[in-house]
């Protein structure tokens, strides 16, 4: 655990004088009640470099600093990851297929969370990050992580404003140039396979056709909701399962993974509000698979 550097620092404006510091943080800096509670339990609030309380009534030009002791829940591991963008608040990584997001029963190491923690340790930073979006093991592409608790809170509240585009190769020829799949997804009572159903959670996927092959179609899919396996379930339900999908399709098919890649991401930056946009090209193995279809 460490408290070497504040994860938040601000100067009180004259218009905020007389407010309780917790109200300033909540109204103007997106602090949630749970985040303030965590700081009380595992951190420290300082006003002008002196330990203080969230009930303190601030004065103009007071300097507010918030520290939080961080205990990483994953073991830092050191392996090269493709960092697309990084600053003091966010980290965008291009995840390869075959890598699990978090440690779990069968995967106690070698996960993206382990490698991000290792990356941060090598930079001399806290080995803890908050993964904002998630990808299936066999899906490649862009993953966003918040590097501090405040950025995590803000990004989780703005997840609905996040743009997520995917490239998918599906079986069969999709005849419409574009469309919307608006079908609820039912979580399984056991196993991992989801189904569509009227009693499922609302899920909407927009798509457009990019290329048609003899027996396949390359589509760009845009998620308007974020359900587990959403693209895979939706295209399977309309008779166009993804190539390489072992759960909803025909399995390996010589590809060794599912043909699904998170190619574009856009989100408001948690500190500045500026829209950040990032793109990731198709991995080599997916480009080669398409080249074979061209031949």
Q: Is residue 136 annotated as a catalytic residue, yes or no?
A: yes
What is the C-alpha separation between 5 and 68, in angstroms, rounded? 9
For residue 162, give the nearest of 84, 281, 269 by alpha carbon. 269
Backbone angles phi, psi at 269, to 5 degrees: -65, 135
Active-site choice (136, 245, 252, 279): 136
For residue 131, the cross-strand partners are 145
Catalytic residue numbers? 136
């Amino acid at each position: 655990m460490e408290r070497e550097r504040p994860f938040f620092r601000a100067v009180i404006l004259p218009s905020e004088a007389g407010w309780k510091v917790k109200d300033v943080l909540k109204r103007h800096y997106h602090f949630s009640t749970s985040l303030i509670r965590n700081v009380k339990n595992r951190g420290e609030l300082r006003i002008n470099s002196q330990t203080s309380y969230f009930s303190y009534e601030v004065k103009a030009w007071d300097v507010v600093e918030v520290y939080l002791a961080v205990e990483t829940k994953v073991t830092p591991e050191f392996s090269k990851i493709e960092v697309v963008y990084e600053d003091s608040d966010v980290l965008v990584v291009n995840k390869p297929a075959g890598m699990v997001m978090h440690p779990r029963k069968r995967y106690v190491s070698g996960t993206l969370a382990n490698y991000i923690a290792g990356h941060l340790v090598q930079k001399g930073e806290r080995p803890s990050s908050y993964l904002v979006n998630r990808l299936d093991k066999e899906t490649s592409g862009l993953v966003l992580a918040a590097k501090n608790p405040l950025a995590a809170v803000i990004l989780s509240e703005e997840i609905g404003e996040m743009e997520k585009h995917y490239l998918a190769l599906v079986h069969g020829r999709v005849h419409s140039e574009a469309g919307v799949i608006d079908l609820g997804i039912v979580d399984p009572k056991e196993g991992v396979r989801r189904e569509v159903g009227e009693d499922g959670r609302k899920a909407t996927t927009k798509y457009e056709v990019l290329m048609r092959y003899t027996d396949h179609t390359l589509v760009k899919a845009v998620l308007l909701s974020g359900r587990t396996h959403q693209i895979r379930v939706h295209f399977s339900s309309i008779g166009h399962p993804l190539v390489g999908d072992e759960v909803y399709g025909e399995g390996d098919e010589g590809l060794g993974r599912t043909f699904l890649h998170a190619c574009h991401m856009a989100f408001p930056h948690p500190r500045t509000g500026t829209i950040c946009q990032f793109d990731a090209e198709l991995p080599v193995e997916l480009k080669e698979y398409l080249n074979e279809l061209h031949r």
